[in-house]
Amino acid sequence: MPDQLLLYIGATITFLWGVAHLFPTASIVKGFGEITADNKNIITMEWIIEGVALIFIGVVVAGVTFIGADNNVSAFIYLASSSLLIVLAIISLFTGFKVNFFPFKLCPVLFTLSAILIFLGY
């Protein structure tokens, strides 16, 4: 049961950070100033995709934990999800972490924390 708690906490952090990505999308795009419509669409798309990907990871990890975590498929999902979160943390560390806006600095921390919780819960 404690292992499942770690999995659920990691999934919840990931899910909620994904949801949090969706709300400020318009203001994030506006923050780029006057850019072409294509660039606005690309930034909007990428911002939403990251949020949806995080939501998906959270839902899948929580879902397989709820259904039953003691099988090879669940193990693969936990390892793949942890690995992807570490990759996102590294990317965020070298990009968003340099931005002078606090929520961007949280990304690598939250991604790493979630990855560790999911891995330890596995």
Q: 91-118: per-residue pLDDT in tens?
A: 999 998 888 878 888 999 999 999 999 9
- List the end-to-end C-alpha distance of the chain, in Å, as a whole number: 11
Task: Provide the pLDDT for residue 1.
Answer: 57
Pick from 32-36, 41-45, 72-76, 102-106: least confident: 102-106
pTM of the entire structure?
0.92
Give percent above pLDDT 70 in the chain.
98
Task: Provide the pLDDT for residue 101.
Answer: 79
Which DSSP letter does residue 70 get? S
